[in-house]
Amino acid sequence: FFHLQALEHVNSRLLELYPDDEERFDIVLMTNNHAQVGVRLINSINHYGLTIERFCMTGGKSPIGYLTAYLTNLYLSADSEKVQEAIEAGIASATMFTANKDVAYSDTQLRVAFDGDAVLFSDESEQIVKEQGLDRFFEHEQLNENKPLAQGPLKGFLEDLGKLQKKFYAKNERLNCPIRTFLVTARSAASSGARVLKTLRSWGLEIDEALFLAGAPKGPILVKIRPHIFFDDQMFHIEGAQKLGTIAAHVPYGIAQKYHKSA
């Protein structure tokens, strides 16, 4: 479901540029199936021409305990309970939702889109929106424009993508980089966007494209971007993305979860 061809293309490009360097994407298939089903899984992987060398079959036990041992940078699963367990263990994680219609994706450029608050950043600002309203939020963001936001659960994954991008930049491949990142946020640029961009700068991170939607739906913009995966903390945005053909991943973190559960 995650477009592994694009990941494998990044790996092959890195191998060409850095033949002695092993810093590449390493995919681990984790399942709580028993080892006896391994042959069927291996046959399926080979049928689709994918290169997944690492398997973790736990025979009914939760695989979460193995994530730290595998030095996991990102855990994706369709099981929301396991994802919540991983988030609580401090591991970047999200629940995958397939798109409701087929859209063509690039096999030669991995495109990853992130929401901002409660995904790349903490939910500090979102707490103010939910509890005190938009006016207080705008006032708070302007007062704190030069104070970086705390990091959210996927900041480390963006950092990892940035490290790989810089390996291409170092070989004069910036314009031909096979990784592209997008910030897609409901924030307004004029009233609350500066703090976000200054936070990324303070972390030493670049994002290729930043789209401030000022409350407009994210789905139509994602159709234009065509990311292989879009991360958001609110199911409202996940469902809107799904309907228009984007593979979306829900990050169960922050105050929005409280409101979602009580809805």
Domain parsing of the chain, residue ranges: 1-95, 110-261
Per-residue pLDDT tens digits for 35-50:
777 788 888 888 877 7
Per-residue pLDDT at 117: 94
Per-residue pLDDT tens digits for 139-153:
999 999 999 999 999
Structure tokens at 86: 């991983």
Name the pLDDT band for 116 (thresholds 50, 70, 90): very high
């659960």: which residue's tokens?
Answer: 153
Distance between CA 123 and CA 118 in Å, rounded? 4
Per-residue pLDDT tens digits for 123-178:
998 898 888 888 899 999 999 999 999 999 999 999 999 999 999 999 999 999 99
Distance between CA 233 and CA 6 in Å, rounded? 24
Contact 123, 253 (CB under 8 A): yes
Q: Fold for 1-95, please state it.
A: Rossmann fold (3.40.50)
Reply yes or no on whether 115 is catalytic: yes
What mean pLDDT is reported for the chain?
90
Class of domain 110-261: alpha beta
Per-residue pLDDT at 97: 92
Q: Vertex 20, ends 19 and 24: CA angle to 5°? A: 75
Per-residue pLDDT at 212: 97
Per-residue pLDDT at 262: 44
Q: Which residue has the higher pLDDT, 96 or 37?
A: 96
Distance between CA 23 and CA 44 in Å, rounded? 26
Statement: the pTM of the whole predicted model exceeds 0.85: yes
Q: Identify residue 60 by its one-letter amino acid code.
A: G
Please tell me which residue in 115, 117, 123, 232 is annotated as part of the active site: 115
Q: How far is CA 171 from the centre of its chain?
A: 26
Q: Vertex 65, ends 63 and 70: CA angle to 5°? A: 85
